[in-house]
Structure formats: structure tokens, C-alpha cells
A and B are shown apart, each in its own frame.
Chain A
């Protein structure tokens, strides 16, 4: 197959603000919250892509609309060459099988009334998968490291540790043999001691050719395990590139601030100075121009004015533009410095 497994283009997702009865009577139009606003991501087989960003920037919303749980308002989601919006609902169901989701909280994502065997088997039953389903269940459990599988088949989720639960959740995603796994903060609810194990598991799956989109808060996790990193801010990707490059030479002022705030292994103090407090971003009050400008240190320090782009920062929205090769940034200052100092 040519082209990426997953190609998300200009994705836009809106949550309709809830209309109360009063609003209905007064015919007041409420504006929806645009939680995702023009996100583009692509993931190929054998790729582990990390989506990084602070709380509320729209990471989960992106994941859910890729999995078909939240309808999207604009843009397109292309899975293995098929644009989801052009498919019939039956075809979409079949496509959905190829993209599986793992949720953040393994204490919540497993039905407490079902035994492991039934949890992992349910997707097979739903999609009427041919063959020995029980054998497939055991195989999936084995694959995620729950060995011997027989020992786990008849346990309830509350009889498992958090790490084991997350492995069960991953097994129930893997059992359908998806091409792409979307993992929404798969380790953030887990004890530090079992995090590495689950992340290694994702790494192994990637080397076996699966595409993985991993959402995380944690830039150091992303740097360690991902091939590529997408940095998200207020509903849009603001920087995207090979993991190593994004971490060692971040271009966007937001990424630079994130990198500076990461705890350092050499014991150097964390630097929060690059991230001015500003107001916490809120998608219902989207700033004009570049969405980062109210908090941007480049603008605040007067450097933008020196470059003569302050007005552009405040007034003109900007999308990802290639910086070098496949490292792309959405920042007026970066664009200007490239064009003026080639």
C-alpha cells in the first residue's frame, strides 16, 4: 500500500454549546466551541507519532473523531486511502475495525461486570470475525504480556493491577488486528513503575508494522518513544517533526517553552520563564491572529516588533509551514527569519 495509514487533513471539530430551553424560546443562537481547528496529522505503518500538548488543547477530541466517536465538522480523515466521510455506514464500520482506541484510564475503560475473556472477545463477536475466537483472545493476551493467558481469562477488572488492566485494554484493541492504534495518554493513570512496560509494548507493536498515534502530556515520554512529535496548541498543530529534532531544536516559542519546562536528567533547574502565565487558553474565546500570541514571549519581549511582524502575529492566523524538510512550524517569526535569512 502506498501513502500513510492515517491521514488527517484540516480536521475541525465543534462541540455545540448546549442550548437551554430558554435559549430555544428566545431563538438565541449559541456559538459552538471549536475544540479542534484545522489539525493535520499523518501516521504510516511502523510509525509511532506522539501528539503533545497541554490540558484542554483538543488531543482527546482529535483521537475520538479519528475513532468515529465524535463527528467532525470539517476536513477529512483518510484511513488506508479511504475517506471516511465518503463511505457508507457499513463500510465505515469495517474501516473502524482498522483503527482502535485505547483510553487513558484503565480503571474506567473496562466494564466491571465482564471477565477478561469476554472483554477481549467482544470486538470479535461484534465484527463476526471468522475462526477460533477463543484462540484469538488467548493470542492477544499473550501478545500484551499477560502470560499464561489462562490465568487471566476469568478474572474481573477489579482483580487486576492498573498495568494489567491497561494491557487488557490494549489486548481488546489488538484482537481485531488493527492497522492503527490510537492511545490516549495510555500511561498517565499508571504507577511510574509499570509505565515503561506499557510503553515498551507500544514500541514493540510499532516495530511489527503497526501505526501508533500516542497522545501524551509528557514531552520526555514522547521524546523517548516516538518517531515523530506533533505539538498541539488550542486546537491546532503548531509544530511537527522528527522527535529528536523537535526536542533538541524546537522552533515554535510554545515548543521551546515546553522543552525548557521538562525536568532535566542532568539536574539543571527547570526553566518555566519562557512560559508566561498569560491567560489559560480557552477554545470558546479564540484569540485573533496567531492563537499563541497572547502568551507569546517573542511578541512580549518586543522581538516580533523588531522583526516587524507584531501586527501580523496579532491579526493573521497561521498554519504549519515547512521549515526544513519534514520539520514544520506555524509561527510568523520563524517564517520571517527563514525568508530573510535563508
Chain B
């Protein structure tokens, strides 16, 4: 077990290293850089050269790469290129604090909606209910995220009375400055801003969960041990709860770990539509400004999160299925 863990950790380190190298190259493969886009009166070619030198862009790619790695080894993600050059870490921390709970809520939405849909479909396989549920899952699965988000802004937000942009009510912000706001009020306000973006992500990914759950359940429901349990007199629902669903949990957990990476793609779009200043919006802004250090930092964190989510899922498998032995 310890050996397995060490092996996996070494492999994780390797994966992260490869990913950050690819990121480093990819961002620089984009045409233009942080300086070429500048437009101002004093932006003469000489001024631009000076700026480049200040950011280290005049050095060769290789030199820049070595510098970047050196920084990382000291836990230094670098500084943003945007004046006044705050550290990348301070740039990312606040957005992460807003995005993380939103992704969590979104995942809860998608698991609850998706697993229930998949369960219904598998339970009444071949019926009208199955076709409706499967159709809905496929629709959710193939729906463009931004389109769904816009529809929600247009139709759902007003009806539910939820805010459609930002992370905080401006009135509340002023009240907070005056110092007469309870933490409960703040919490509720944050939650209200979070619900629609989370729901958009939740619905889009619910399709994945529904399809995986249905197929996993259809498979376990056709197993002999399910029939055996029925023959012993268990009710249909008890059989699903006690035998079929736990045995179908493996692919569902795998999907949870794997989808973390794709969810971030959805976050980018959703935060843009809802002007939700989380990590997605930060990345969008950093791309338009060619702020490489911030991009590198954001994608490094994402890589680490995905790698560790998968490691965690692997460690969970033996708990879900005693036949799995970690070696």
C-alpha cells in the first residue's frame, strides 16, 4: 500500500511536470505577447523594448523556462505582469475562494439530477419514462453551456428572483462598509449569486452522470446476484439500493474525478456569462492580456487538482469494490 502510494505520488509529480511544461510552451505559441498589444501615446518601440526587458521577455524561451522552474521549486508562482504586479498567488486566491464552492454546488446538482435521472431510466428500462429521461440527459449532455446560461439569465433568473451577475449585492457591499451586516446575510447573498452559475454547470454535467448511471445500472441489474436477491424476496427498490447502485458506484466516482478538468472549461464560460468573478473570469482576462504567469499559475493549480482527484478516486476503489487490490 505504501509502495503503491509512493509510486502514484511519483507518477503524479511527473504528470504535473509534463503539464506545466506544455502550458509554458502553449501560451507562448500564441501570436503576440503582453507588450505588443499596448496602445498609448508614450508606447514607442523603445518603450516596448524596455517593458519586454523588465518582464524578462527578451530572454530566450529556454532561459525563461529555467527561471520559471526555479521559481516554482521555491514555491514562487511569479508575479502578474499587470501593474502593480501583485503575486500570482494573491491574484488567484480570491477567485478560487469564489469558484470552489460554486463548482462544489454544481457537482452536487449534477450528481443529484444525473443519478436520479439515470436511476429512473434504468428502473423503467424501455418505458416511456426511460425514453424521456434518456432524451433529457442527451439534451443536457449536448447543450452548449453558454446557451443554457443565457437562457437561464433570460427566463429562469427573473422567475426565481435570483441575481444574474456578480458575486455580491452592491447594496450589501456598501452596508458592509458601514459595518452593520451579519455573516448569515453575507452567506445567503453569496449563495444566491452562486445558484444560477452552479445550476448551469450542474445541468450540463447531469447528462454525463445520467448516461453513465443508466448504463452502469442496466448492467448491474442484469447480474445474477440481483435476480438472486429478488428470488430471496427483496423488493425491487431494496435490490437497487443494496445491490445494484453500490455496484454501479465505480463508474460514477470515476466520472466525478475525471470531470473535474472538463468542469473548469464550463466554469470559464459560465463565469463569463454571469460576470461571476471567479477563477474562470480571471483566466479569461489573463488570456486577453497575455498575462503568462497568471495563466501558468491557474493551469498548474488545475493540473494538481485533477491529478489528486484521480489519485483519490483510485484510493477509494477498494472501498467500493473489495475485488480491487491496489498494487
Q: Which residues of A contact B (CB under 8 A)?
A: 18, 21, 64, 67-69, 93, 96-97, 100-101, 103-105, 108-113, 122-123, 126-127, 156, 158, 169, 172, 176
Contact = CB atoms under 8 A, between A and B. Distances in A.
Closest 3 CB pairs of A and B: A108-B224, A109-B224, A111-B225
Given A108-B223, A111-B247, A156 B228 contact: no
Given A111-B243, A158-B322, A158-B323, A126 B228 contact: no
Instruction: Report, as a range, how many residues of chain B touch the other chain.
Output: 20 to 34
Interface in B213-246: 223-225, 227-234, 238, 243, 246
B228 A109 contact: yes
B126 interface: yes
B131 interface: yes
B173 interface: no
A113 B321 contact: yes
Interface of B: 126, 131, 223-225, 227-234, 238, 243, 246-247, 320-323
A111 B322 contact: no
Given A108-B223, A110-B225, A97 B233 contact: yes
A69 B230 contact: yes
A49 to B, nearest CB: 19
B231 A111 contact: no
Contacts of B229: 111, 122
A102 B238 CA distance: 20
A86 B231 CA distance: 19
A21 B132 CA distance: 12
B100 to A, nearest CB: 32
Given A108-B224, A109-B228, A96 B233 contact: yes
Given A109-B225, A110-B225, A113-B320, 12 more contacts: A18-B126, A64-B227, A69-B227, A101-B228, A101-B231, A103-B227, A109-B227, A113-B247, A113-B322, A123-B232, A156-B323, A158-B322
B321 A112 contact: yes
Contacts of B321: 112-113
B227 A156 contact: no
Given A111-B243, A113-B247, A113-B321, A100 B231 contact: yes
Contacts of B225: 108-112
With most chain A CB atoms within 10 A of its CB, the pick from B131, B224, B228, B230 is B228
B255 to A, nearest CB: 19
Contacts of B320: 113
Nearest to B244: A111
Nearest to A21: B131
A269 B14 CA distance: 65
7 contacts: A104-B224, A109-B228, A113-B247, A113-B322, A126-B232, A169-B228, A172-B228
A265 B273 CA distance: 81
A113 B230 CA distance: 17
Contacts of A105: 224
Residue with the highest number of chain B CB atoms closer than 10 Å, among A68, A93, A109, A158: A109
Contact of A67 (B224, B231, B234, B323): B231
Nearest to A20: B126
Contacts of A108: 223-225
A113 B250 CA distance: 12
Contacts of A109: 224-225, 227-228
Nearest to B247: A113
A168 to B, nearest CB: 11
Contacts of A113: 246-247, 320-322
Contacts of A172: 228, 232
A100 B223 CA distance: 18
A69 B231 contact: yes
B323 A112 contact: yes
A144 to B, nearest CB: 16
Nearest to B232: A123
A154 B104 CA distance: 37
B243 to A, nearest CB: 5
Contacts of B322: 112-113, 156, 158
A102 B234 CA distance: 16
B242 to A, nearest CB: 8
Nearest to A100: B231
Contacts of B231: 67-69, 96, 100-101
A126 B322 CA distance: 24
A69 B246 CA distance: 22
A27 to B, nearest CB: 16
Contacts of A97: 233
A278 B230 CA distance: 38
Contacts of A104: 224
B246 A126 contact: no
A156 B223 CA distance: 17
Nearest to B223: A108
A126 B233 contact: yes
A331 to B, nearest CB: 35
A294 to B, nearest CB: 33
A129 to B, nearest CB: 11
B230 to A, nearest CB: 6
Given A112-B247, A113-B246, A103 B233 contact: no
B99 to A, nearest CB: 36
A108 B227 CA distance: 10
Nearest to A169: B228
A103 B228 contact: yes
Contacts of B230: 69
B231 to A, nearest CB: 4
A112 B223 CA distance: 11
